[in-house]
Amino acid sequence: MSNTRIYMIRHGKAAAGWDGHADPGLDATGHAQAEAVMEKLLTRFDAPVPVLSSPLRRCQETAAPLLAKWNMQAQIEPRVAEIIAPVEDLAARTDWLRRVMAGSWATLFVDTTGSAPDYRQWYDDVLAALHGLKGAPHVIVYSHFIALNVAYSAATGHADMVGFRPDNCSMTIFETDGANLSLVEKGQEAETRVN
């Protein structure tokens, strides 16, 4: 059986950053980006392929134009959602994310801030979700900045938590054989706010 090609798309620009809303939808720019990435995907596929989305609103709203065009629903996959902060206060959550983004995966895995989740398990769960897609030739996954960096790290061996900075609605293409992830095409990068 051949490898599965994963088209991993970061959500469009959100209406609020991490310090403004726990689960924002897209702003007007984000909706326009979602339409643009739909058009880009339609040039690659003649027929619908499986679509997975993070449960968070900004990903589901980014997927919505393509799903409407194909008259289908996404499979909601919690394992490709954004990283979970160990604190609930929105401002503290943003400060925490900025701090850990400047470090390595190894440092994150031993984070003891507040009641920190098991980040090694979270990292492994992201990869398990992607490797679990083995079987279909192509799958589209709408996800988040840090989850995309998990895949990038696994595919390239990059030790820093932020190996690249995917722009809103950028598309990064990976392949999985069910156990290993490889990078096919790196998505467009940009300096964006944490959203």
Residues 84-95, mean pLDDT to the nearest whole number:
86
Residues 131-149, mean pLDDT to the nearest whole number:
95
What pLDDT digit, counting tens, does each position of 2-27 carry?
899 999 999 999 988 766 777 888 99
What are the structural domains of the chain? 4-185 (3.40.50.1240)
Q: Are residues 159 and 106 in contact, defined by beta-carbon separation less than 8 angstroms?
A: yes
Give residue 88's pLDDT band: very low, low, confident or very high (50, 70, 90).
confident
Percent pLDDT > 90 in the chain is: 77
Residues 161-169, mean pLDDT to the nearest whole number:
95
Q: Are residues 47 and 183 in contact, defined by beta-carbon separation less than 8 angstroms?
A: no
pLDDT at residue 87, as a whole number: 84
pTM for the whole thing? 0.95
Closest CA to 172 of 194, 150, 192: 150
pLDDT at residue 57, as a whole number: 95
